[in-house]
């Protein structure tokens, strides 16, 4: 994951201090050994694990740092922005999402149903771009919900090292409690879990893949980022109203559209306020495809050539020739 | 000491890596935190301590900024010929690929995702990503343009892209965004 920032920053000639998340520092530290082995000059890449409140805060506020690139929650993104104000360091932010995944009634359900399940359950829903609001045209709503729920029930929730594991634990106890709290909140407000709805087992931080129905657009489970394997399935009857509902959160990171009519797909894609729109696919990443968010999903784009703007300043030089 | 989980399929290098205290990487060297403190990282599948890691704080950040600033200001990196810079980034990609199984296992242990997904998705994508940007190192160029204002004098206008020294990512406890 560090590669998303490290690659372009190094290509641009920047030197780097990498502060990995306190929950997952190990692969960055293994990378440090390879940076040494590759023969990078000393100090080009420095890796300093620690907590956000201490190491992260010191880095964000440091007067000799010119630029900060952060991936994480919108809440922490705002703290970083405040800390960065001291020396007005440049900031790019890749933050949260509550991405709509829209299924029209002419979609090919054989690919749409597994696609919609994977959109939310991939990486246990711990994807900032997870397709966590599944909007389905009324005529096919029951069929799609049924299909996604059947897939959810078959998902093997086990430790990542088990060979038949499809879904591992959430990253921390805190995250597990947060996700369970959201499910309880939704259910207490009238939502129904077609499948899942609770913790899985009592050891490790596992949560059952969950499909919620009977929600309304104002519920916390529909508005806020859960960052877990929980999808809210929402029927709609009028395709002309769907864009407004899809855009109705503070986020704008990604979206999906499933239809066999490419004209409809592009018409919706053009109106969605989202940095990435996947048509008849989801969670496709490519180094050449810029990624980032509208609204409170962040500032700037990663990947593609666009990301290089994050790590360079433009200097205009004007020379008189006569 | 860390109580690493013993799993039959674990790579011996990974067991050794999580079994020893991991240090900070500052100015090309592995060092303890200035405070001497460490913090545990947990295996989310069991809730047990996976490894102990030096805990970076303000003073360590100051040391790292000093090192990064020096590497930038002396031009050791920022003025290195871009072809050579690209080659080093490519070499790093090759090394990640060489040790891809270790990375897949470390990711899976630390963030919990299924090993078979780290193997086919996360690690190969990281390698591709580094190679893609290795290629960009030689392609960040200045753009010459003509004056638009027609003032009667001729000017040569050039936009240069200059580098920023930059910092960091703090990322959410997952391996993809």
- ipTM of the complex as predicted: 0.94
Find the helix or strand (DSSP H, E) in which A313 lies.
Answer: strand A312-320
* Sign, CA torsion A177/A179/A182/A187: negative
Question: Is residue A90 within 8 Å of A65, Cβ to Cβ?
Answer: no
- CA–CA separation, A30 vs A150, rounded Å? 39
Q: Greater confidence, A276 or B161? A: A276
Angle between helices B100-111 and A26-38 (to 10 degrees): 160
Q: Looking at residue B169, what is its pLDDT? A: 55
Question: Is residue A99 within 8 Å of A130, Cβ to Cβ?
Answer: yes
**Facing residue for A67 by CB, picked from B17, B45, B166:** B166
Q: Looking at residue B149, what is its pLDDT? A: 73
Token pair in block for residue B116: 């078979």
Mean pLDDT of B155-173: 64
Chain B: residue whose CA lies nearest to A293: B177
Q: A51-70 pLDDT, tens per residue? A: 999 999 999 999 999 999 99
* % chain B with pLDDT above 90: 69
What burial class does residue A228 get, using C-beta atoms within 10 Å of its C-beta: 0-12 exposed, 13-18 middle, 19+ buried? buried
Confidence of residue B174 (pLDDT cuts 50, 70, 90): very low
Token pair in block for residue A302: 């990663």
Q: A244-254 pLDDT, tens per residue? A: 999 999 999 99
Mean pLDDT of B60-78: 95
B50: distance to nearest CA of chain A, Å?
Answer: 10
Indicate yes or no: CB of B61 within 8 angstroms of CB of A17. yes
- CA–CA separation, A220 vs A216, rounded Å? 9
User: How many helices (H) does chain B have, and how many strands (E)?
Assistant: 6, 6
Indicate yes or no: CB of B56 within 8 angstroms of CB of A315. no
pLDDT at B145 over 60: yes
**Facing residue for B65 by CB, picked from A42, A65, A167:** A65
Q: Looking at residue B165, what is its pLDDT? A: 62
Q: B41-54 pLDDT, tens per residue? A: 999 999 999 999 99
Q: How, if at all, do strands A254-258 and A276-279 pair?
A: parallel
Q: Tell me the average pLDDT of chain A.
A: 95
Q: A267, A283, A261, A270: which is closest to A99 by C-alpha?
A: A283
Q: A99-144 pLDDT, tens per residue? A: 999 999 999 999 999 999 999 999 988 999 999 999 999 999 999 9
pTM (predicted TM-score): 0.92
Residues near A199 by beta carbon (within 8 Å), at least 6 away in sequence: A176, A180, A206, A207, A208
3-class SS of residue A301: coil
Confidence of residue B150 (pLDDT cuts 50, 70, 90): low
Q: What is the DSSP annotation of A216-275? A: -TTSHHHHS---SSEEEEEEES-GGGHHHHHT-SSEESEEEEE-S-HHHHHHHHHH---S
Q: Greater confidence, A315 or A17? A: A17
Indicate yes or no: CB of A8 within 8 angstroms of CB of B133. yes
Q: A96, A105, A210: which is closest to A148 by C-alpha?
A: A210
Mean pLDDT of A161-167: 92
Q: Is B30 on the interface with A (CB under 8 A)?
A: yes
Q: Is B71 on the interface with A (CB under 8 A)?
A: yes
Q: What is the DSSP annotation of B118-162? A: IIIIIHHHHHHHHHHHHHHTT----EEE--SS--SS-EEEEEEEE
Q: Looking at residue B7, what is its pLDDT? A: 53
Indicate yes or no: CB of B109 within 8 angstroms of CB of A160. yes
Indicate yes or no: CB of A55 within 8 angstroms of CB of B60. yes
Judging contacts by C-beta atoms under 8 Å, the chain A residues touching residue B10 are: 161
3-class SS of residue A28: helix
pLDDT at B3 over 50: no
Placement of tokens 């009238």 in the chain: A190
**Facing residue for B106 by CB, picked from A27, A34, A316:** A27
Residues of A labelled as active-site residues: 94, 128
Q: Looking at residue B8, what is its pLDDT? A: 56
Q: Looking at residue B171, what is its pLDDT? A: 52
Among A44, A62, A119, A179, which would you mutate to test the B interface (most chain B Cβ atoms within 10 Å of its Cβ)? A44
B150: distance to nearest CA of chain A, Å?
Answer: 13
Q: Which residues pair with A278 in a beta bridge?
A: A256
Q: Tell me the average pLDDT of chain B.
A: 87
Question: Is residue A168 within 8 Å of A159, Cβ to Cβ?
Answer: yes
């Amino acid at each position: 994951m560090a590669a998303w920032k490290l690659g372009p920053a190094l290509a641009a000639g920047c030197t780097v201090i990498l502060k990995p998340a306190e929950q997952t520092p190990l692969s960055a530290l293994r990378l440090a050994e390879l940076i040494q082995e590759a023969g990078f000059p000393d100090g080009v890449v420095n890796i300093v694990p620690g907590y956000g409140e201490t190491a992260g805060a010191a880095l964000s506020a440091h007067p000799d740092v010119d630029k900060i690139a952060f991936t994480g929650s919108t809440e922490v993104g705002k703290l970083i922005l405040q800390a960065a104000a001291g020396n007005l360091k440049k900031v790019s932010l890749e933050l949260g999402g509550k991405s709509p995944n829209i299924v029209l009634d002419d979609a090919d359900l054989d690919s749409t149903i597994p696609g919609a399940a994977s959109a939310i359950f991939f990486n246990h829903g711990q994807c900032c771009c997870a397709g966590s609001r599944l909007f389905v045209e009324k005529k096919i709503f029951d069929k799609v919900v049924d299909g996604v729920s059947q897939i959810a029930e078959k998902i093997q929730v086990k430790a990542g090292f088990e060979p038949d594991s499809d879904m591992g634990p959430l990253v921390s106890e805190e995250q597990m409690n947060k996700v369970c709290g959201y499910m309880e909140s939704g259910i207490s407000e009238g939502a129904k879990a077609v499948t899942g709805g609770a913790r899985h087992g009592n050891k490790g931080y596992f949560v059952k893949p969950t499909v919620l129905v009977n929600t309304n657009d104002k519920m916390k489970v529909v508005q806020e980022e859960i960052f877990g394997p929980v999808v809210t399935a929402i029927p709609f009857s009028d395709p002309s109203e769907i864009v407004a509902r899809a855009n109705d959160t503070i986020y704008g990171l990604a979206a999906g559209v499933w239809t066999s009519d490419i004209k409809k797909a592009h018409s919706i894609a053009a109106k969605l306020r989202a940095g990435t729109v996947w048509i008849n696919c989801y969670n496709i990443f490519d180094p050449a495809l810029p990624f980032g968010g509208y609204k409170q999903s962040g500032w700037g784009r990663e990947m593609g050539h666009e990301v290089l703007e994050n790590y360079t300043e433009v200097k205009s030089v004007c020379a008189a020739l006569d | 000491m860390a109580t690493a989980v013993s799993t039959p399929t674990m790579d011996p290098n990974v067991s050794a890596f999580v079994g020893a205290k991991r240090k900070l990487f500052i100015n090309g060297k592995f060092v303890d935190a200035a405070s001497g403190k460490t913090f545990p990282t947990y295996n989310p599948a069991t809730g047990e301590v996976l490894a102990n890691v030096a805990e970076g704080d303000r003073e360590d950040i100051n040391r790292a900024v000093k090192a990064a600033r020096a590497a930038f200001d002396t031009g050791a990196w920022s003025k290195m010929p871009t072809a050579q810079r690209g080659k080093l980034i490519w070499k790093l990609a090759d090394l990640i690929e060489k040790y891809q199984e270790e990375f897949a296992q470390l990711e899976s242990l630390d963030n919990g995702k299924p090993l078979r997904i780290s193997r086919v998705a996360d690690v190969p994508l990281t390698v591709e990503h580094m190679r893609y940007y290795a290629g960009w190192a030689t392609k960040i160029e200045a753009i010459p343009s003509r004056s638009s204002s027609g003032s009667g004098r001729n000017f040569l206008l050039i936009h240069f892209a200059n580098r920023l020294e930059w910092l960091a990512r703090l990322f959410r406890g997952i391996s993809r965004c």
